[in-house]
Amino acid sequence: MELTFNVSGRIAKPVAEVFEAVADPAKLSRYFTTGGARGRMEKGTTVTWSFHDFPGEFPVRIIDAVPNEKLAFQWGANEGPDAGAPYDTTVTIGFEALEDGRTLVTITEEGWRETPGGLKASYGNCQGWMQMLCCLKAWLEHGINLREGMFK
C-alpha cells in the first residue's frame, strides 16, 4: 500500500495572491510557520521553516516552483526516533485558477515507508496540511491567524 494523500480547498482570492502567500516567507510566517520561515520557495533552494508547536528548524528543499501553478519540495519524514535511517517525503502544492476568481489549492504528500511509523507520520502530516489550508483561507480572506495561541 502506497502511503500518500491529497487535501484541497478553495480560497476566494486570485491565484497569484494565493501562490505568493505560500512562496513568500514573510507571508507564510503570518499564518502557518509560527516560528518563522526563511527563504523564498524557488527551485533549487533550501528554505527553513520553524513552528512553535513542533520544535526545531525544518529544512525544505525546493525541487520545483512554477509561479501560480506549483510548488514541490522534499523534507524529512519525521517518523520519530525508531524510524531507522532518515528519509524524505515529497510535497506538491498545486494552484489552479477557477472561473469564478477563486483558487483551488491541492496538497499531495507521498513517500513514507510502509511501516506503522510511516502510516502514523502520514496521518499527522495530512492533518497538518488540512490545517494549513484552513489557516491560509482564514488569513487571506479575513485577515485572521488561526494558529496564533492555538498550541502555546
Task: Read off the CATH number of the domain in which 86 is found.
Answer: 3.30.530.20
In a domain, 107, yes or no: yes
**Per-residue pLDDT tens digits for 30-72:** 999 988 999 999 999 999 999 887 778 999 999 999 999 999 9
The length of the chain, given as a count of residues: 152
Lowest average pLDDT, out of 20-29, 32-41, 83-92, goes to 83-92
Calpha distance 147→134 (Å, rounded): 10
What is the model's pLDDT at position 149? Answer: 78
Task: Give the three cell numbers for residue 103.
Answer: 483558487
What is the model's pLDDT at position 144? Answer: 95
In a domain, 34, yes or no: yes
What is the model's pLDDT at position 51? Answer: 87
Contact 44, 32 (CB under 8 A): no
Lowest average pLDDT, out of 71-75, 92-96, 145-149, goes to 145-149
In a domain, 111, yes or no: yes
Number of separate domains in the chain: 1
pTM tops 0.85, yes or no: yes
What is the model's pLDDT at position 15? Answer: 98
Mean pLDDT of the chain: 93
Buried b (16+ CB within 10 A) or exposed e, 34-70: bbebeeebeeeeebebbbeeeeeebebebeebeebee
